[in-house]
Structure 1
Amino acid sequence: MTMQPWFPDAKLGIFVHWGIYAVDGIAESWSFYNGQISHEDYMKQIPGFTASAFDASAWASLFAEAGARYAVLTAKHHDGFALWPTALSSLRTERDLVGEYTAAMRAQGLRAGLYFSHLDWSHPDYASVGSGDNRFAYPPPGQEDPERWERFLAFHRGQLAELQERYAPDLLWFDGDWERSAALWRMDALREELQGRQPSVVINGRMQGFGDYATPEQGVPIDPPAGPWELCLTINDSWGWQESDTNHKSVRQLVRVFAETIGGGGNLLLDVGPRADGSITPEQQVRLRGLGSWIRAHAPAVYGTLRGLPPGHFNGATTLSADRRRLYLFVFDRPNEYVVLRGVRSTVTGVRTLAGRPLHHTRFGGLGEVPGWEYIYVEDSDLDPLCTVLEVALDSPLETYRTHTRD
């Protein structure tokens, strides 16, 4: 599977969880699945989902200001409610919110992605053998109703065809694959079908082995995936808008997570939850703009870079220029006189802050092929209030030393 080059170069995307659940500010889909509210009462939110303040161009401008290169909108969550006028279900908006979104993102130069839930807890054929309150469950292995499952698959494929043929999303972000096997979903055939319509579409990893990249959630992996990956993270604790959730991460926390993510070779997909009218809260806007301001000031260490050093070389995140001759060090905390770079065989020819001030550096120790320590002296006046980035120039493409165990 060949990854489209725009995706690993993007570094930041904006995830948008927006749906009828924003009317009462309850959890998307799971609130009725887990019995916190009845399915009937959950669906009573539909008339309140007005999108009266939805301005797709304002969204796109805000996301670009945040430094994002793409966005992903929940075209349909597990509740089955579609944000486009699908011909295949009555659970839909009459206004083409997906169309407005995709057009605005592209006008701003952002890639437009769409989230789509494989499962659909509101569709009468999804559970195949269930009905009533049991229609949210999936059958035990071997108890599937083949005819009903075939009808559901036709519906599932039909909605995906609508999305691709109407909007040509740059990225399809799937979810909800866990209740059936890859064989029952026919994931291999689905991937061929999706790429048959759009050969260059990027497909996330929730395809049971038939996606393009991994999607860890709500925490930076200690050992990042070897291939392309993306961390999806909420700004507060909720995916969709919930009025009671005021536990927003600070801009400094978001910068740190972002640096750790790109240092491990991933993208950050940072989630916002608009209100039912389509407006994004001031608290979330402030954080997006704050992150974007920091990214703009440190763009050379972000865009066009590769994953950085393995753990142990530097006490913090790092990225590497495409030619591997510039190493970027993300200094999260206030140094006590200096920071240390270890295990780098390439000779350091200069160090500067991204603001441009050259820094004194000295190499200590080293014997034969084993390099010593590069001490980089940093003054308080050099520090960025959110995260300081140092550019380390090398005399040759980065070469590192790893300890070998004696026999």
Structure 2
Amino acid sequence: MNIASRTIATATLLAAFTLPAVAQLEGNRIATSAAHPVPAVQDTETPAQRDARMAWWRDARFGMFIHWGLYSIPAGVWKGHADPEIGEWIMNHESIPVADYKALATQFNPTAFNAHDIVALAKSAGMKYIVITAKHHDGFAMFDSKADPFNIVAATPYHRDPLKELAAECKKQGLKLGFYYSQDQDWTAPGGAAYKTGNHDLPSHHWDPAAQDGSFADYLHKKAIPQMEELLTNYSTDFPVVIWFDTPTDDMTPALAGEIVALLNKHPNLIWNNRLGGGYKGDTETPEQFIPPNGYPGLDWESCMTMNDTWGYKTNDTNFKSTETLIRNLVDIASKGGNYLLNIGPDSHGTVPAPEVERLQQVGKWTAVNGAALYGTHPTLFGAETGSYSTTEKDKKGQPKFNTTWEWRSTTAPDKIYITLFKWPGSTFHLDMKDAKSPRTVTSAYLLADKSHKALKVTHTGTAIDVALPSQALDPIATVLVLNTTK
């Protein structure tokens, strides 16, 4: 992912959203334009065609992000210095020379990697798709690439293609597979772009100019586009279903981006995000490490978030979110019409850290019971339940602060309203249907975790309903109340 401080041509590319020591690029702030030198599928398809293309993704709601590469070897420490930033950016932060970084490949032998187990973990968590870093900003390809030898098959003692193995397992286990590809930044290829950190000089922000300087267009033509073509054609007709771009810079002109789009257009069912650059909007908004207070109504969006504080593996990052937080995030995002792309960061052996495994297994126990309130649902008919903007407090950008409330969230199906209760309201749940964005009549109710779906007493008073509840929640984190409705 990104840790951007570079000034990009259009100021709106960078936002001030900040995590501890990490200035993130908000995907929804990337500049786009209506005029494109090469029309993309989004420019030419009808609304019905778009709905059909996006249908599986909209239904999925929950996916696994995997950040894995050579950066898992130093794991946040270089020459005895513990780098304070996110793990996959260590080459940039520590100004590691290209030759020294490339030498890490000889140590990379992740024999503990097991594609079956990772796909099974995602599936058991209730995730419907996986997106893995095929190439991050360090330029190392985690796949068999004939376009450039700096890859896991040619440059390491491992000599295996984990993407091929993941593709086979995703097909067996019924999950979708997508690839993250850093199309713009590449710190080990001549001409690849780099964001500024520390004292890296203008205009290239390179710290090893003899190895990094060159023509961006040459990099794109000799490495990036050929590797994207490999990714789009070498993994059967089934995958990838998603290409996840990242960190566009002003090097990615509309004309150069158009060359990539011409390649993407050969795969008309492909879904790709809004981080290509060159003015292309892509398919999905990509808020990073945050959940927009009201979602993005009318747009397809996906919050990508870490389970601790880093994307790539770091030995000293043990700040893992609780299972409760992960479930709340998932439900909150679904209630606003988005997807939750939750990251894991395997270590240099290919092992997923135990706290990440444990939390995904715990989340999976919840989704196994309550998945109907997530998958294939539509956003809430209400909205005030998520919180409100303060009239006095300001956030870090000086804007009114949004104060989130965590009592309940709601998703919608054609004949149901799902109410996920985080805070048990006692013996009664009260809801005024006049606040719904479209009229619904509640006909009956039950708790999703109750296998018998025993009917709960519903009392109507004008436009409001009161649903009689048992004295205690059925789940300590979140219990789903199902309202059967007619329009």
Task: State whether TM-score is above 0.5.
Answer: yes
Answer whether contact 2:98 2:187 (CA < 8 A) is retained. Answer: no
Q: Which residue of 2 aligns with 1:261?
A: 333
2:275 counterpart letter in structure 1 = R
Give distance in 2, aligned partners of 1:180 and 1:264: 34
Given the superposition, is the C-alpha separation of residues 360 and 180 from structure 1 closer, same or farther in structure 2, using an over 3 Å criterion? farther
Q: Which residue of 1 aligns with 2:380?
A: 308
What RMSD over aligned residues (CA atoms) do the two structures have, in Å? 2.5
Answer whether contact 1:239 1:273 (CA < 8 A) is retained. Answer: yes
Q: Which residue of 2 aligns with 1:90?
A: 149
State yes or no: 1:360 paired with 2:426.
no
Q: Which residue of 1 aligns with 2:5?
A: none
Given the superposition, is the C-alpha separation of residues 41 and 358 from structure 1 closer, same or farther in structure 2, using an over 3 Å criterion? farther
Answer whether contact 1:204 1:211 (CA < 8 A) is retained. Answer: yes
State yes or no: 1:21 paired with 2:115.
no
The secondary structure found in structure 1 opposite 2:285 is coil
The secondary structure found in structure 2 opposite 1:317 is strand
The secondary structure found in structure 2 opposite 1:383 is coil
State yes or no: 1:350 paired with 2:444.
yes
In the TM superposition, residue 136 of structure 1 has moved relative to its aligned partner by 9.1
Q: Deviations over 1:261-319 (max 9, x none)?
A: 11111111110000111111221111111111110101221222112224126852211
Answer whether contact 1:353 1:382 (CA < 8 A) is retained. Answer: no
Between the two proteins, what is the percent identity of the paired residues? 31
The secondary structure found in structure 1 opposite 2:284 is coil
In the TM superposition, residue 56 of structure 1 has moved relative to its aligned partner by 0.7
Q: Which residue of 2 aligns with 1:212?
A: 283
State yes or no: 1:124 paired with 2:190.
yes
Q: What is the TM-score when the length of structure 1 is the normalising length? A: 0.86
Q: Which residue of 1 aligns with 2:17?
A: none
How do residues 5-404 of structure 1 correspond to structure 2 at under 5 angstroms? 5-26=55-76, 27-35=86-94, 37=96, 39-94=98-153, 95-119=160-184, 120-127=186-193, 137=204, 148-154=215-221, 155-167=223-235, 168-183=239-254, 186-196=256-266, 198-208=267-277, 209-226=280-297, 227-312=299-384, 315-321=407-413, 323=414, 325-342=415-432, 343-344=435-436, 345-354=439-448, 355=450, 356-364=453-461, 366=462, 371=463, 373-394=464-485, 396-397=486-487
Q: Deviations over 1:333-362 (max 9, x none)?
A: 122433322324422111110112322332
In the TM superposition, residue 39 of structure 1 has moved relative to its aligned partner by 4.8
The secondary structure found in structure 2 opposite 1:5 is helix
Is the deviation greater in 273-282 or in 299-308?
299-308
The secondary structure found in structure 1 opposite 2:302 is strand
Answer whether contact 1:337 1:379 (CA < 8 A) is retained. Answer: yes
The secondary structure found in structure 1 opposite 2:431 is strand
Answer whether contact 1:191 1:210 (CA < 8 A) is retained. Answer: no
Answer whether contact 2:131 2:178 (CA < 8 A) is retained. Answer: yes
Given the superposition, is the C-alpha separation of residues 211 and 188 from structure 1 closer, same or farther in structure 2, using an over 3 Å criterion? same
Q: Deviations over 1:190-217 (max 9, x none)?
A: 2232121x22111122124331111111
Q: What is the TM-score when the length of structure 2 is the normalising length? A: 0.72
Answer whether contact 1:13 1:269 (CA < 8 A) is retained. Answer: yes
Aligned residues: 378
Q: Which residue of 2 aligns with 1:401?
A: none
